[in-house]
Amino acid sequence: MPVPWLHEERIRRRMVGTNVVSGNAMTTGNNRRMTDEEINALLGEYKQSRSQELRDRIVMQYANLVESVARRFAGVADSVEDLIQEGYIGLITAIEGYKSEKGVKFSTYATHFVIGQIKHHLRDRGKIIKEPAWLQELNQRVTRVIEALAQELGRIPTHAEIAQTMGMAEEDIAELLTTREVFKVASLDGGGEEGEDANSSYDMDRVRADRRVELELPVEEKLVLKTALEKLKDLEQTVLSEFYFKERNQTEIARSLGISCNYVSHILRNSTKKLKKILVSEELKEAQIELALMRRRLEEQAQFIEENTVIDPMTRLYNRSYFHSRLEEEINRANRHQYPVAVLLLALDGYERISRAYGTLRAEDILRHSAQLIRSRVRRVDILTRFDTHTFGLILPHTGGQVTVVAERLAQTLGDWILAEKLHTGRAPLNLMIGHLHYPERAACPASLVQGAMDSLSAVILSEDASIAA
């Protein structure tokens, strides 16, 4: 079995010095890079043989190009690692479509596809209208909480569960989620009036018709407002609540409370003035200190949730939630560019027995080492995740029927290790199971692709050649 190009690339990186251009061949440290003529010859040979090994050699030659382009977009919307993965997909697309007779250098052709793939990915994940910074931050917190709760509960959380975790009102969560959708499709024609006098008197019905003001405040500022409102008289609180939160006009409020419209208007003007004084008074200093501490706790909690939302803490691989979201993206991309995608599941059957017999630490060491072995035997563009407690999930772009070759390679690697460590014997034997399926030939959608891979899980016969059982 040839050494995978990913392993070769890691070795090359350790030897990399400064880039040196010499004649028509570029060298990197002590490793000579191929000339344009050699690359074209390799591309021609690949067109004839469709050898994955040849394609990987070409990909390895342009690893620096992909990473250089990806880092130009660092900080735009994704981690550099994600952008590099997208760049490799663009590079593979360029290899598949390049025609030397057109007279264009492959490096120029490939750069166009790498940049285009990354930009297309960013556009796919973008939005029509840029949200305000405060709303982006709040949306990110809500998204992290939803993903964490979904992973914990095994289902989509309710508005009440999200609200309880966020420390917000349930109706605020409902409106926030609605607002997120509005920003995706809203018109660009909106905007406030210009030239208004900042010192002019309030038009209460116009203010009421605007979106609810409290939605634009961070959680801690909403609590400050709530504390200030509690210092008003009951009637003032009622009028403000009816006007701003229930969106009733002054006539409706007057009729329901049995008072005149003029009195309602008077209460609105005076109560808003009182609120302004209360909010800047010394009485709220203690509350503001408590809120500052709360904000710090919320930030720490948000950081913790972020770190544990898509990353499995034990193996540091992506988790099942990320697997499903990324698989859907890859299927959509495969539809656009007409290439196959495969899913491969690899289960360590007996993992729970090992945990009970030898302890959690031993079981976790086995899981982590298995993850390292799998990572060393797949391409960088492949997405490796922890699918469940003892199962790894792989998404393999540009891989159709060749997924069987990948399965055999992984079975050989893990089988040899299990045999060497004698993990297949004793009171808690470890067995290996592999299942796979590819799109679109064998599955029509992401769900059927995953289910088919799960249904095809079968035991690997642990012998000297670690062949897969029929």
Q: What is the pLDDT of residue 30?
A: 41
Q: Which residue has the higher pLDDT, 136 or 194?
A: 136
Find all residues with CB under 8 Å of 337, minimum gap 6, and list them: 93
For residues 167 and 161, what is the distance between their CA atoms, to the nearest angstrom? 10
Q: What is the pLDDT of residue 279?
A: 66
pLDDT band at 200 (very low <50, low <70, confident <90, very high): very low
Domain with 349, as residue range(s), is 320-459
Which tokens sit at 328? 């859907």
Determine the longest span between alpha carbons in the chain, in angstroms: 93
Q: Total domain count for the chain?
A: 2
CATH number at residue 359: 3.30.70.270
**Portion of the chain with pLDDT greater than 90, in percent:** 23
Mean pLDDT of 377-396: 93
Per-residue pLDDT at 215 exceeds 80: no
Q: Where are the alpha helices (DSSP H) in 76-156?
A: 80-97, 106-124, 133-153
pLDDT of 104-131, one tens digit each?
888 888 888 888 888 777 766 654 345 5
CATH number at residue 23: 1.20.120.1810
For residues 59 and 74, what is the distance between their CA atoms, to the nearest angstrom? 21
End position of a domain, from candidates 124, 145, 180: 124
pLDDT of 346-365, one tens digit each?
999 999 998 888 888 889 99
267 falls within a domain: no
Q: What is the pLDDT of residue 461?
A: 84
End position of a domain, from candidates 62, 91, 124: 124
202 falls within a domain: no
Mean pLDDT of 388-404: 94
3-state class (DSSP) for residue 349: strand
Which tokens sit at 134? 């405060």
pLDDT band at 411 (very low <50, low <70, confident <90, very high): very high
309 falls within a domain: no
389 falls within a domain: yes
Per-residue pLDDT at 261 exceeds 50: yes
pLDDT of 3-15, one tens digit each?
344 444 443 443 3
Per-residue pLDDT at 428 exceeds 50: yes
377 falls within a domain: yes
pLDDT of 4-43, one tens digit each?
444 444 434 433 333 333 333 333 334 567 888 888 888 8
249 falls within a domain: no
Q: What is the pLDDT of residue 108?
A: 84
Q: What is the mean pLDDT of the chain?
A: 76
